[in-house]
Amino acid sequence: MIQVEDAEKILNKIEIKPAIEEVPLLEALGRVLAGDVVSKIDMPPFDKSAMDGFAFSSSDKSPAYKIVETIAAGDIPQKELKKGECAKIMTGAMLPKGADRVIKREITAEEDGFMTILEEEKTLNVCHKGEDVKTGDLILSSGALIRPQETAIIASMGRAAVPVYKKPLVGILTTGSEIVEPGGELRQGQIYNSNAYSLTAQVRHMGAAVEYGGIALDDKTGIKEQVSRFFEKVDMVIISGGVSMGDFDFVPGILEELGVKLYFQKIAIKPGKPTVFGTKDETVFFGLPGNPVSTFVVFEIFVKPFLYRMMGFSYEPFFIEAMMKQDYKRKKSARTAFLPVMYRDGFVETVEYHGSAHLYALSQANALLKVPAGQDRVLKGSTVYVRQV
């Protein structure tokens, strides 16, 4: 059995070479940029008006200004303004020569082809060429996660496609002769499959793709067949259940028979002790304990950072600083615990939790509280850092 931190070290040492592909901009949403984006243009590309109003020279203090042309967005101004002249201009339109300010329409009067200023205004209402971004500026670095904001700025640079890391394909296999798919009928001794659903949701939530292998009965051949099939196709295999000490827990043995190099088979974590990790060639394997809270927690702590790395992204979990609202105590402290907790208004409350099968507790929680191995209590009033889930 190894400590949580040692398992993390082992996983971090596994070398990953994510592949790159060029995709249309909108397909890059949620993906990770695989090259720098450098601007080929100035933004804005020309001095432009920030208001609907009148453009003229700030040094021109004439009592009234002759309107010599009207400039709409997209027009090229035809006239150079002289003293006593202005151009009627729309938001986003190019400033004419001889103008360096725009007065907004609301504080002017227009009569017989002349504009007069009713109220002075300090702002120039001009967006200057290159004031936001200059040609050659680094806009986004390789490794950036593409959110709607990034999509917008890439589009504004005129780029229609970007290089991103390829989406890893994750093969998910559920084991257990007692497991029934939701929608089916539950006979005595059976339970519904929740792990394939939580795992698929967790993987998809990260923007990776899932190939679902269904439920394998607890017999060696079925599991082995499906795992071998995955081999050819997927980048990561996640197997739920069948990894612990029972007579029908075949997964570690099957992986070894298939030539998978196992790095660990037990982690000092609660929930989630019987967690298996191995590699064969470029494919990685996680065998997760079947209990639903264990599956969820082990994915969050170990699989998620690894999968993000396969996606080219260096993931940092989000920790919230909070104060314990009540005492937490435990009798055994050999393992690092991750407890489902509720963070609210600066405080953390533990939720009623019966152990690793208690999915309802997870649904009542929005964070995990890590209690390190060797620590048997977290006292009311102490500061903790909980991990958002």
Binding site for ligand AMP (CB under 6 A): 174, 176, 178-179, 191, 193-196, 240-244, 246, 249, 289-292
Output the residue with the shortest Cβ distance to ligand AMP.
290
d(CA 370, CA 70): 65
Q: Are 214 and 264 in contact (CB under 8 A)?
A: no
With respect to ligand AMP, which residue has the nearer C-beta, 160 or 245?
Answer: 245
Window of 130-138, 168-176, 188-196, 253-261 that interacts with Mg ion by CB under 5 A: 168-176
Site for Mg ion in 274-293 (CB under 5 A): 290
Distance of closest approach, residue 292 Cβ to ligand AMP, in angstroms: 5
Residue 274 and residue 243 in contact, taking contact as beta carbons nearer than 8 Å? yes
Q: Which of 272, 242, 269 is nearest to 332 (CA)?
A: 269
Residue whose C-alpha is closest to residue 254's, from 230, 219, 282? 219
Q: Which does 336 bind (CB under 5 to 8 A by kind): ligand AMP, Mg ion, none?
A: none
Q: Which does 178 bind (CB under 5 to 8 A by kind): ligand AMP, Mg ion, none?
A: ligand AMP
Place of tokens 């999915």: 359
* CB-CB contact of 92 with 47 (8 Å): no
- Which residue lies nearer to ligand AMP by CB, 44 or 292? 292
Residue 241 binds Mg ion (CB under 5 A): yes
CB 8 to ligand AMP: min, Å: 22
Give the range of 5-13, 149-157, 159-167, 174-182 binding Mg ion by CB under 5 A: 174-182
283 binds, among Mg ion, ligand AMP, none (CB under 5 to 8 A by kind): none
Considering the complex, state which of residue 242 and residue 312 has its C-beta at the smaller distance from ligand AMP.
242
Q: Judge contact between 255 and 249, C-beta under 8 A.
A: no
Query: Nearest approach, Cβ of 291 to Mg ion (angstroms)?
Result: 10
Q: How far is the CB of 295 from ligand AMP (least distance, A)?
A: 7
152: which residues sit within 8 A by CB, 6+ positions away? none
CA distance 17 to 282: 9
Q: Which long-range contacts (CB under 8 A, 24 or more apart) does 339-342 make?
A: 339/368, 339/369, 339/371, 340/293, 340/364, 340/365, 340/367, 340/368, 341/365, 341/366, 341/367, 341/368, 341/369, 341/386, 342/366, 342/367
Select the span of 92-100, 147-155, 169-177, 192-200 touching Mg ion (CB under 5 A).
Answer: 169-177
Pick between residue 44 and residue 289 the one whose CB is nearest to Mg ion.
289
Q: Which does 174 bind (CB under 5 to 8 A by kind): ligand AMP, Mg ion, none?
A: ligand AMP
The rounded Cα 304 to chain-centroid distance in angstroms is 11
Rule CB under 5 A: which residues touch Mg ion? 176, 241-242, 290
